Structure 1
């Protein structure tokens, strides 16, 4: 089944023509519980893995902040995301690759106090595959290890929220308030940035924007993808809940808890207080260095 974000409830660029130059394409992945295979794009599913490639492990220091430290080390990474170019062609695949894989150590690390992700770009032309279930670290927090989900990629348009230039944000503040007063649609919650798990677009920051600069060339990195805890919250669901997931009676917030969570956060992730991990890459450096940020409410 496809997933379709409702059309924006107002013509954003008609109300705010200043935002036209800041629009960005994003791809919402809409993970839902399923049984993906290694040749499928997925969240938390099995990865395409060469037989002669060792499974990656984390030997960094782990912090006993919100969770205990691992019972044994080094810690095997857990699969978070696999995307094939056939499903998500918008990603900046390096030459010779057509698969992006994201894994992370599910325990907490400095300086972000969150799981630490790693990227793998690879070619789907893998002849000899490993037949294995990804090892699960003993003691790993359940809500840092995503459940297996199929994805339903959907391209949308986003406009900046926390990433609005300060002068423009101040200039538009009164008009944002006027629009919300007349229509009930809040720019930040309903019109700007989608939550959940997505590629491209803008990070769905819950605090002030914190873009990393590349250590190699000093230029600001590009937002590659977001792994967010939830697709929507109690305010944003009216705008961002897909048409196919809307109940016939009442609202999604009226559903029993288990039914709502199957839509709101199907992978079972909860990063801090409904937070997100934002992954960035430098497209200017040949080795494509990456960085990540974490924030939550």
Structure 2
């Protein structure tokens, strides 16, 4: 079943024209528990991984296999997702074990051409020692293009200009800019990261440019406040069972990549409420 996010309850750009130029499109994935195959886009499902290609393992734990987190076929998502030339499949894995330096996960990002995959390998067993909350339940996805606006990424000057107007709107209507009108919550592609705190945009180690947001993986699709505005119409009365992740204190992991340097280098950030 497709998913439809309700329209914003007020006209954001009419009330706050200052944010109009900062509008971005994001692809909400709306993961719901299911039985995806390696030929499907999924969260936590099996990957279209070539049998002859080594499965990624954690560099900190000798030979410990990573677990599938996200697989997205280009045909399943709108064209705003920047697939590299010659690639039509995005695969993200991570190690769900405890790591040094207070790291939640160690990730791996792989772009590939699905048609070049011959015999498909089997997903290795999950490592016996793992944080169960960091292993996503297999979910099908329902990609949806949604407009969003920045909150934490507004910048100090614009925040100072708009803060009291945000408060006035909340008092008059009950709609909060941060929770109900700005950045879409949940697991999503491109657009704005789902920051819970001050932004921490990484710079590429190769060229020094600010990296682009590729993927947000969240513990939940919406918190108790934001679900009022962001819950899909189809789930208002029967919420879907999602991946079941608990990342830190119900936080998220954000993936970034450089579109300039060869090989699309990536990095990630953690965030907690």
Mapping 1:55-74, distance limit 5 Å = 55-60=55-60, 73-74=62-63
Q: Does 1:189 align with 2:179?
A: yes
Query: Unaligned regions of 5+ residues in structure 1, if any?
Result: 62-72, 248-258
Q: Deviations over 1:5-33 (max 9, x none)?
A: 00000000000000011000000000001
Q: Deviations over 1:44-71 (max 9, x none)?
A: 000001121011101226xxxxxxxxxx
TM-score between both structures, scaled by the size of structure 1: 0.88
The answer as to whether partners of 1:31 and 1:152 remain within 8 angstroms in 2 is yes
The equivalent residue for 1:15 is 15
* CA distance, structure 1, for counterparts of residue 263 and residue 101 of structure 2: 23
**RMSD, aligned α-carbons:** 1.4
TM-score between both structures, scaled by the size of structure 2: 0.96
Mapping 1:207-222, distance limit 5 Å = 207-222=197-212
1:95 CA drift (Å): 1.2
Match of 2:262 among 276, 283, 286: 286
1:111 CA drift (Å): 4.8
* CA distance, structure 2, for counterparts of residue 237 and residue 244 of structure 1: 13
The answer as to whether partners of 1:227 and 1:278 remain within 8 angstroms in 2 is yes
The answer as to whether partners of 1:108 and 1:116 remain within 8 angstroms in 2 is no
The answer as to whether partners of 1:112 and 1:294 remain within 8 angstroms in 2 is no
Aligned residues: 272
The equivalent residue for 2:45 is 45
Change (3 A) 1:214 1:111: farther
Q: Does 1:275 align with 2:265?
A: no
The answer as to whether partners of 2:98 and 2:131 remain within 8 angstroms in 1 is no
The equivalent residue for 2:272 is 296
* CA distance, structure 1, for counterparts of residue 67 and residue 54 of structure 2: 13
Q: Does 1:243 align with 2:219?
A: no
Q: Deviations over 1:232-287 (max 9, x none)?
A: 1111111010000011xxxxxxxxxxx75x44xx1010101110000000111122
